[in-house]
């Protein structure tokens, strides 16, 4: 099957509007791209990992950071704010892994670096990425595929 938004193109318009709102939330574009890439890696979405890496490069994420995002805890290339955002992204994506997936510690760390608008943007980016991951993985979209 083609991607569901290719079959029902009217569904893409509100998703694009949501992404526009996310980008107006005051979070650095590179951070948003790192979130998208890490969530896509966790979910094993080949199409989203591929497109996410391309988008991240386009936003200025360098090769070292791009290669190390899966190991962000151990890699020295990420700021404290990026680490907080990535921690929140992982916790919110892995909701079924434990009863209290987004712990107070994860949330409080993120809230140290991001205000309410920024946190909203991060949460929405996590949600939209999970949506795309589920659409693409369910319909077996290949890396590099467009629709």
pLDDT tens digits for range 117-126: 999 999 999 9
Q: Which DSSP letter does residue 146 get?
A: -
pTM of the model: 0.92
- Decide if pLDDT at 91 tops 80: yes
Q: What is the tens place of the pLDDT at every residue in 36-72?
A: 999 999 999 999 999 999 999 999 999 999 999 999 9
Measure the CA–CA gap between 32 and 86, rounded to whole angstroms.
9
Q: What are the structural domains, with CATH classification, of the chain?
A: 16-138 (1.20.1290.10)
pLDDT at 145: 63
* Residues 109 and 84 sit within 8 Å (Cβ to Cβ): yes
Phi-psi label, residue 26: left if phi above 0, alpha if psi -120 to 50, beta otherwise:
left
Question: Which whole-number Å values give the CA distances from 102 to 11, 89, 96, 120, in the listed order?
Answer: 29, 9, 11, 14
């Amino acid at each position: 099957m083609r991607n569901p938004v290719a079959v029902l193109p009217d569904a893409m318009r509100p998703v694009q509007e949501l992404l526009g709102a996310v980008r107006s939330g005051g979070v650095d574009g590179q951070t948003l791209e790192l979130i998208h890439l890490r969530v896509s890696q966790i979910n094993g979405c080949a199409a989203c990992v591929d497109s996410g890496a391309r988008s991240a490069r386009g936003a200025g994420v360098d090769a070292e950071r791009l290669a190390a995002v899966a190991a962000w805890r151990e890699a020295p290339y990420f700021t404290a704010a990026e680490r907080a955002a990535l921690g929140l992204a992982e916790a919110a994506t892995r909701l079924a892994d434990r009863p209290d997936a987004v712990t107070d510690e994860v949330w409080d760390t993120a809230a140290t670096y991001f205000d309410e608008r920024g946190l909203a943007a991060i949460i929405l980016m996590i949600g939209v990425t999970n949506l795309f991951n589920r659409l693409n993985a369910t319909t077996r979209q290949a890396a590099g595929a467009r629709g």
